Structure 1
């Protein structure tokens, strides 16, 4: 299995947060030891609900395949599933993955329920359009975990990063670099997608407070090639007036290539924590920032699902709005430590995202 942490310091904030939760909750048992897995865990399960010993069948619904991030997310889920398969805790992983609209993802969910899954991990295409299918699945006793972006259904547990806060980090950095009165353009992901809207909303909030004017924005569908094209178009329209660019994860390398091609490295841009971008960042000699958006969130949700299927439960004080667990954001990639980050992604393909998968021990820190 791939290492679940790219660097020792990457999970420092996460480990600290989990330690605080463990302290507050008094550990996982009276003596602070962790409960077991499989039949032992089922027998010792606490207040989380009806315990079962497994083996469990897990379903995955992914409604967008045009990003290396999604491929890495699915690979991570498969690798952690294999870990539990060796323990005899799971027996089948059913993955529904295709480029579909909301109706197509509803069909994915129903297909998984019809195949008898015990839990579904879903990267949803909409915050609310899938709610009826979620209710149907929950009525059949299926546990559902949304990753990457939250949904509104109370039948779902969201295991996500705070996408708005994720965006605010790089937006604050850009605002500090440029100062009040600067003009920028934005290059975003898929218009209307919940993660995209949360990110852009968070970034806009920062820019409004900082007195930064957004003169235009374009959607590049989380594609590096489209990011390059959209940036070229924005330069043609606004290149004489802008001071910088706010670019999302998934398009930032394309944006930077456009700036290099047009000899516009005088513009300050935000970046991403992907291997290809880090290498191009180093070659261009620019100052930028990459905020980590770990594809490992799907595998982390798998750990939560299997523990809750065995009768454990997430502590209520770790949930926002009753059903959303915000995982702590890892360290940012900065120019000061770029060489170290480059060493961490050496040998990885350009599309590889700096990643984090919480260990089972770390996941237990969020439980009752």
Structure 2
């Protein structure tokens, strides 16, 4: 996997539909990916139904950069983006908009694992290939190109269980109630805690937002001031740490961290104050969108997956190396000049994507 350079801020993300086109190319009248189009250029659509995090900005920015490279090669002619804070019905409309715009493939970051099945079937009936990123869906018409979110959470939960020990008590600060990534993560973490004999005394949702994560952590600590640890998902760990700092609990309460520059910067400061300070950051790479682009381009070109490349309808991407106390200095040095919101990233190279195909 490769690490992306610093990314520009994407101020237009919340604007809704964005169109990036190569002026010398034209858009097909209808979606396809049929035999006549097997050599491209291809029109790619993106449906993003949640814009409430910098992670999603980075996801889109890295995808735009990769599409530009494919445009220069004549492989892709347009990236059509539907991006807004919407519910499931709003995302259904996003996908129908992309179908009507004549895309050959849709990359979707889904708001539900099952509720989009009908619109996926509609798109597939038009010959459009569909790839889900960030979280898996169940539709037979979709190929998931994702990390294992359950294992992502289990990695941090195993570290925290080791810190608090059997009989330890923890609180949990989760993402969005009912969101597929959140559900997969909490299932993975809960299984670890149950097996380790760790009791989750309370949990709440903070919508993957740092400020909300700080407030939710403060509220949970007020009700459970004697906990041994905090399990917190990425996008909120810095806020949760700040809540511990406000209560002077940093030395007494273990907390899972995140592989984002803001948290890592505070991690470094804590290590200077106390060389024994410990945390963990499991990367959730926003550039999974780029991995998905490489995969869907090869699908459009008519290539078949290699045997055993898929687990059902899912291609599991490798999770980038976890940030630990042992490798922290090296990992932080590679990203410390980035903005605090930058997430440690990585994606398949085109050559690595080739390995998943015959």
TM-score of the aligned structures, taking structure 1 as reference length:
0.86
| Distance of 2:138 and 2:303 partners within structure 1 | 23
Match of 1:243 among 213, 221, 228: 228
Q: Which residue number in structure 2 is paired with residue 273 of structure 1?
A: 259
| Distance of 2:144 and 2:306 partners within structure 1 | 14
| Distance of 2:328 and 2:248 partners within structure 1 | 23
TM-superposed CA distance for 1:282, in Å, is 1.2
Match of 1:362 among 349, 352, 355: 352
| Distance of 1:140 and 1:153 partners within structure 2 | 16
| Distance of 1:6 and 1:106 partners within structure 2 | 31
**Secondary structure of the structure 1 residue equivalent to 2:348:** coil
Q: Which residue number in structure 2 is paired with residue 334 of structure 1?
A: 324
TM-superposed CA distance for 1:6, in Å, is 5.8
Aligned pair count reads 324
| Distance of 2:217 and 2:88 partners within structure 1 | 29
**Secondary structure of the structure 2 residue equivalent to 1:317:** coil
Q: Which residue number in structure 2 is paired with residue 353 of structure 1?
A: 343
Unaligned runs of 5+ in 1: 8-47
| Distance of 2:350 and 2:298 partners within structure 1 | 9
TM-superposed CA distance for 1:77, in Å, is 0.6
Whether 2:245 is the aligned partner of 1:254: answer no
8 Å contact 2:41–2:74 — kept in the other structure? Answer: yes
1:103-114 alignment runs, 5 A limit: 103-114=89-100
Whether 2:12 is the aligned partner of 1:5: answer no
**What CA deviation, in whole Å up to 9, does each residue of 1:108-138 have, x standing for no partner?**
0000000000000000000000000000000
Relative contact order, higher structure (CA 8 A, sep 6+): 1
**What CA deviation, in whole Å up to 9, does each residue of 1:74-120 have, x standing for no partner?**
00110000000000111111000000000000000000000000000
TM-superposed CA distance for 1:200, in Å, is 0.6
**Secondary structure of the structure 1 residue equivalent to 2:50:** coil
8 Å contact 2:34–2:127 — kept in the other structure? Answer: no
How well do the aligned residues superpose, as a CA RMSD in angstroms?
Answer: 1.5
Match of 1:115 among 68, 89, 101: 101
TM-superposed CA distance for 1:53, in Å, is 1.2
**What CA deviation, in whole Å up to 9, does each residue of 1:7-49 have, x standing for no partner?**
9xxxxxxxxxxxxxxxxxxxxxxxxxxxxxxxxxxxxxxxx98
| Distance of 2:4 and 2:51 partners within structure 1 | 24
**Secondary structure of the structure 2 residue equivalent to 1:176:** helix
8 Å contact 2:170–2:200 — kept in the other structure? Answer: yes
Q: Which has the higher helix share?
A: 1
Q: Which runs of 4+ in 1 moved over 6 A?
A: none
Q: Which residue number in structure 1 is paired with residue 120 of structure 2?
A: 134
**Secondary structure of the structure 2 residue equivalent to 1:60:** strand
| Distance of 2:4 and 2:89 partners within structure 1 | 37
Whether 2:210 is the aligned partner of 1:224: answer yes
| Distance of 2:121 and 2:4 partners within structure 1 | 37
Q: Which residue number in structure 2 is paired with residue 38 of structure 1?
A: none
Q: Which residue number in structure 1 is paired with residue 15 of structure 2?
A: none
Match of 2:306 among 285, 309, 315: 315
Whether 2:250 is the aligned partner of 1:287: answer no
Q: Which residue number in structure 2 is paired with residue 14 of structure 1?
A: none
8 Å contact 1:49–1:313 — kept in the other structure? Answer: no
Whether 2:55 is the aligned partner of 1:62: answer no
- Decide whether aligned partners of structure 1 residues 334 and 6 sit closer, same or farther in structure 2, where only a CA change above 3 A counts: farther
TM-superposed CA distance for 1:262, in Å, is 1.3
**Secondary structure of the structure 2 residue equivalent to 1:272:** coil
